[in-house]
């Protein structure tokens, strides 16, 4: 029921990027009470989760990575939370074929600040052990 990590699934279509699913961790991280609130506030569109001034650049980068033959994409952007604030995230997406929905993206989100703190701490401990 609860898989680790914050993730969503959405239709991989440039014209209709319909949100299909978000797990509990994603809802918690972004402050949405439930799927209904997420769908209502975003109009079920992945695009509406991206800060408006970043939308074109982020979408172009995702599709450029996918169209280059890579099944995965990685992108840093600002994710819109339920309260209208933004969270800096690293998005790791993977495109797959679904018998029900066609091409869909599975997207894992990592909090950018938390990730840097974690890896800085890991790296500094590694660096200390070298000297």
The DSSP bridge pattern shows strands 19-22 and 86-98 to be: unpaired
pLDDT in tens, 62-95: 888 888 877 777 889 999 999 999 999 988 888 8
pLDDT in tens, 18-27: 999 999 999 9
Query: pTM, whole model, 2 decimals?
Result: 0.80
Contact by Cβ (8 Å): 79, 86: yes
Which residues pair with residue 50 across a beta bridge?
A: 79
């Amino acid at each position: 029921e609860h898989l680790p990590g914050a993730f969503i699934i959405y239709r991989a279509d440039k014209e209709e990027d319909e949100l299909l699913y978000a797990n509990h961790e994603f809802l918690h991280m972004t402050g949405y009470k439930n799927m209904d609130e997420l769908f209502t506030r975003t109009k079920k569109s992945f695009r509406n989760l991206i800060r408006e001034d970043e939308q074109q650049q982020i979408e172009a980068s995702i599709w450029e990575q996918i169209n280059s033959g890579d099944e995965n994409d990685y992108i840093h952007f600002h994710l819109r939370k339920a309260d209208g604030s933004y969270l800096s995230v690293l998005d790791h997406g993977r495109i797959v074929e679904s018998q029900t929905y066609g091409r869909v993206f599975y997207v894992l989100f990592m909090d950018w600040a938390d990730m840097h703190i974690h890896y800085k701490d890991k790296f500094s401990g590694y660096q200390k052990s070298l000297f």
